[in-house]
Structure 1
Amino acid sequence: MSGTDLLARHFEEQRPRLRAVAQRMLGSSAEADDAVQDTWLRLTRTDTDAIDNLPGWLTTTVGRVCLDRLRSGSARHEEPAGVAGDEPPAEAVGGRDPEQEALLAESVGRALEVVLTTLGPTERLIFVLHDMFAVSFDEIAPVVDRSAAAVRQIASRARRRVQSRSADPQTDPARQRRVVEAFLAASREGRFDDLVSLLDPYVVLRGDATAARMGGSAEVRGAAGVAGFFNGRAQGALPAFVDAMPGAVVVVGGRTSLAISFTVTDRIIGIEVVADPDQLRELDLVVDGEAAG
């Protein structure tokens, strides 16, 4: 098999995921297909030997393509960095026939799709990539030309807006909290099979450098690996909201030493562990007293 054929095969393996990202960003099946094709063309013009993580590169690239389309399609300019959360709503892109509406309702949920159109292009991209596909803030930052800290803040604002307006069960904070509480309980009690059942098969666990030095891990992929990492742990974890995401904190000597946030759709698709003191101070942490009690 030639190098081009092998690259094409790898791309086709990622096509459903790329199309799902584009569908959520653009709200049109035809637009999504065009964005995926543009992503393939960019890949063929890139030195693939320099790509360490092809799925990650493709996901962020299709996001960048969609962002460019939203910006040009809405005929408006982005606000300066730092005020993206106040962007006016972007116009919906592309018309829809009944078939497209049915597909969109099945994959996203009609209520959530409507809410996504109220987000500005940058907010929408960050929300879709991080909260729906568990792409890290560090990976998103260069796509939107922001720092990782700024991307986290924009994500938090977008998340609150979506949760306050959406009736889609996948973005219902109460349901997400129940999933996380069940995960923490299974972790404390060492119920490995239950942990696996609550995790997406392609879940990604990421920890910062400080967490890794404390005995954590910089990255673990896959339900079995993540379940094994958490099995028997979380003994001192208190349920909390981390930047409006369901999560947990570990408090030692009256100070938060660890914050864990979970990205939840039908199951948990992403977990982020923050232990760096400077980053912890920037997080909006609210201990869930009801669940803790």
Structure 2
Amino acid sequence: MDGAAIDRFEASRGRLASLAYRLLGSAADAEDVVQDTFLRWQAVDRARVEVPEAWLTKVLTHLCLDRLRSARARHERAAGSWLPEPLLEGDPMLGPADTFEQRESVSLAVLTLLERLSPVERAVYVLREAFSYSHAEIAGILEITESASQQHVHRARIRVAAERRRGAADPVSARRVVEEFLAAATSGRIERLVALLTEDVTAVSDGAGLGKRLLRYETRERVASFVRAGFRPTSAKRRLAGGSPAIHIAAVNGSPAVLAVVDDRVVGAVMFEVSDGRVASLCGMAAADRLVRLNEVWRRHEPGTPVISAW
């Protein structure tokens, strides 16, 4: 392959990776699909490719659809073990964030909701909302009619909006709520914790990957008890983490998160959704395979002073 062809692909790599991540919810899978797209770019008769960007987008999107339809993906969703892979602020795979729709499309809440759409609905929604493709362009990418594209995005918007009734908090206010929440959680003030939760709060945890299914909690009291237990330091947790973590507050997928860090390695993350000054949902991850990409970016990141230097 000549250098010009490689340069043309590399110029599209970031956009392709961001598209694949939104479609698959996994940075590792997104990287695999981008590489598969590159291999097809190597093999194609490029003299017959009129618009390389459109060709690459179409190939990558169909590779993502194949993955979403695969037996493995269906099994993971059915088994209740799937969570989006978290990405730290500054990760180029998060892609465009100029509009509300672009920022919303990469939030953990929306990535989780997109799992409930059909693969084609998910693709149309992401191409339209996050990348502003026209229905004519989407029709060409997915080999459907413009009318079908319009119908798919209409249904997807309705389904996402039905679940996303919360008002978005600005980053400064959201961080302030999380700081107060962390102070209550680490001090054991259960009543204050409950007061900082919305009436319909939910929490999910991967249980550090020790079980096959995710742990789910509802009601303010149960979530507060789960949080207090999770933030209570014990010698067993320190052994599991490999030391006494420093606690940082960072932005993950556009939302505030609490990160536990040992020797410059993130060993646990809790992501928050804040609405109207209270915590509406929490998502805890500590399985190492879910934090690989986040750790890669963290090691290149200037973390600043931890809010708790030794937990």
TM-score by length of 1: 0.46
Give the greater-gyration-radius structure (CA): 2
Q: Using CA pairs under 8 Å that are at least 6 residues apart, name the structure with larger relative contact order, 1 or 2.
A: 2
TM-score by length of 2: 0.44
